[in-house]
Structure 1
Amino acid sequence: MADRQKRAWVVGASSGIGRALALKLVDEGYLVAASARNVEDLNLLASETDGAIRPFPVDIRDGEAVGRTVADIEETMGPVDLAVFAAGIYLRDEPDRFDADLVAKTAGVNLIGTSHCLDAVLGRMVPRRSGHVAMIASVSGYAGLPGGGVYGATKAALITLAEAIYPELKEKGVAVSVINPGFVQTPLTDQNDFPMPFMISAEDAADRIVRGLKSRRFEIAFPKRMVFLLKLLRLLPYPLFFAVTKKMLRADRV
């Protein structure tokens, strides 16, 4: 693997978009450090390549463990050129039975866990004045949608965070991207019991993400029709906005 000069760290690589992305980056010539909590799934992923993917299991809710993992990656593989944070959870919320623990669990992975990853890699990339970090948020971060308020809030926070750190990090030589997918067929969406328009495969999502990362675009969002509709929804005045989102309520919740 000595001929692989680029190194990527993919968090959330045990399934879904993260897994597909790790394999796609191997095709693009990267040596990939793959992280997730599930050791068995990581080892299975690593076995699908000839040493181009190396497992580094970690629970991103543990900031100190994340720091040690990044140190281990760079010690054994070299400096991380690209870090993609794809780990995330979705737990459907029900406002009439609001659960603060659900908020804490979701934010603990989607927002705090991602911030632990940023902390660990930016502390190394900024002094080198090189690197690229990408956070997987969601088109659900564009607007508050019934059933996805907590999940969407964490993804909106990631979008805002990416927007805020982009200008200064660009001046310091570090690129920032935010990835906003629509519905992608993954274990996360398999639990949904409602229509999911414009669904794409994890492999298709990985292809689109890699194309965006190559061009160092700030926002990598897809599919275009869903992105357009949700961004348009966000522009509506609230009476019209709520008239649309009311139609998204499940029949058993009305």
Structure 2
Amino acid sequence: MPLNPPISQWRDKTIWLVGASSGIGLATAKALHARGARVFVSARNAAALDAFTAVHPGATSLPLDVTDHAAVTAAAQQVQATGPLDLVLYCAGYYQAQRASDYKLAEMLRHDDINYRGALHVLDAVLPGFLARQAGHISLISSVAGYGGLPQSLAYGPTKAALNNLAETLYMDLKDSHIGVSLICPGFVETPLTAGNHFTMPALITPAQAATAILQGWEAGRFDIHFPKRFTLWMKALRLLPYPAYFAAVRKFTGL
């Protein structure tokens, strides 16, 4: 049973993608534009955004830093000045491997600022309009790293776990207001974030494949959009284990 209103068509829908200069965000922007959506793309990399809009007529570039609340608010106002916003996708992300033996407070806080607090800035900018219209959709890109603690994910994993909890609570709070909420948890996707991984990434997929899975999830009205299932279902099952078995399985799987 769909938990959200299925999105049956994209033509003339207004979509704002925050964190769309590369990877999953960029691929999703391309897929939405191809289906006739009015696409607004934001990220820090203005040159990458301009390169996208140059070859995607009608798309609009709104460069911003998600840690800058005023910049996020101003961009949201520009989007909403063109008409009702139908869907916002928060896909900004930051990842650096970190373990407790090499704890860096600055890195911990940077992950929090981009991966979690940036999403709060976007929510602050779009929720009033969604609530006033009793319509809209909020989609957050998290990660299977948010399902449970993993080695080298000391800084990254907790921010994704926070997004998971945020999305679940938003869904319960907003369901009666007819505002959709979806949580997107990819496995390994070939992006600039994963390029620094020095290990074999199981079930690695391309950003285009991730974008296809995301659109299929929205179109089916899913809350929990995770892919590729040949990997993510194992990660979900792992989290059901009691802690002694969970810790042993993670150590065996990762070698760490």
Does residue 108 of structure 1 match 2:106? no
Q: 1:216 Cα deviation (Å)?
A: 2.2
Structure 2, unaligned runs of 5 or more: 1-9
Aligned twin of 2:44? 37
Aligned twin of 1:55? 61
> 1:85-118, CA deviations, whole angstroms, 9 ceiling, x for partnerless residues?
1000001112112112111000100000011011
Q: 1:203 Cα deviation (Å)?
A: 0.2
Provide the C-alpha distance between the structure 2 equivalents of 1:26 and 1:127, rounded to a whole number of angstroms.
Answer: 27
Alignment equivalent of 1:194, drawn from 184, 193, 199: 199
Q: 1:34 Cα deviation (Å)?
A: 0.4
Say if 1:146 and 1:249, in contact at 8 Å, map to a contact too: no
Q: Which amino acid aligns with 2:78?
A: D
Q: 1:249 Cα deviation (Å)?
A: 4.1
| Matched ranges for 1:22-171 at <5 A | 22-51=29-58, 53-75=59-81, 77-171=82-176
Does residue 11 of structure 1 match 2:18? yes
User: Identity rate of aligned residues, in percent?
Assistant: 42
Structure 1, unaligned runs of 5 or more: none
Any idea what SS the aligned residue of 1:200 has? Answer: coil
Q: Which amino acid aligns with 2:32?
A: L
Aligned twin of 2:6? none
Ranked by relative contact order (alpha carbons within 8 Å, sequence separation 6 or more), the top structure is 2
Provide the C-alpha distance between the structure 1 equivalents of 2:23 and 2:44, rounded to a whole number of angstroms.
Answer: 14
Any idea what SS the aligned residue of 1:88 has? Answer: coil
Q: 1:48 Cα deviation (Å)?
A: 1.6
Q: Which amino acid aligns with 2:211?
A: A
Name the stretch that deviates more: 13-22 or 95-104: 95-104
Q: 1:149 Cα deviation (Å)?
A: 2.5
Q: 1:123 Cα deviation (Å)?
A: 1.5
Q: Which amino acid aligns with 1:101?
A: A
RMSD, aligned α-carbons: 1.3
Provide the C-alpha distance between the structure 2 equivalents of 1:142 and 1:74, rounded to a whole number of angstroms.
Answer: 34
Aligned twin of 2:4? none
TM-score (norm 2): 0.93
Any idea what SS the aligned residue of 1:149 has? Answer: coil
Say if 1:9 and 1:32, in contact at 8 Å, map to a contact too: yes
Any idea what SS the aligned residue of 1:176 has? Answer: strand
- Runs of 4+ off more than 2 Å: none
Aligned length: 246
Provide the C-alpha distance between the structure 1 equivalents of 2:248 and 2:220, rounded to a whole number of angstroms.
Answer: 38
Say if 2:11 and 2:35, in contact at 8 Å, map to a contact too: no
Does residue 208 of structure 1 match 2:213? yes
| Matched ranges for 1:170-189 at <5 A | 170-189=175-194
Q: Which amino acid aligns with 2:19?
A: G
Provide the C-alpha distance between the structure 2 equivalents of 1:188 and 1:94, rounded to a whole number of angstroms.
Answer: 17
Q: 1:235 Cα deviation (Å)?
A: 1.1
Aligned twin of 1:230? 235
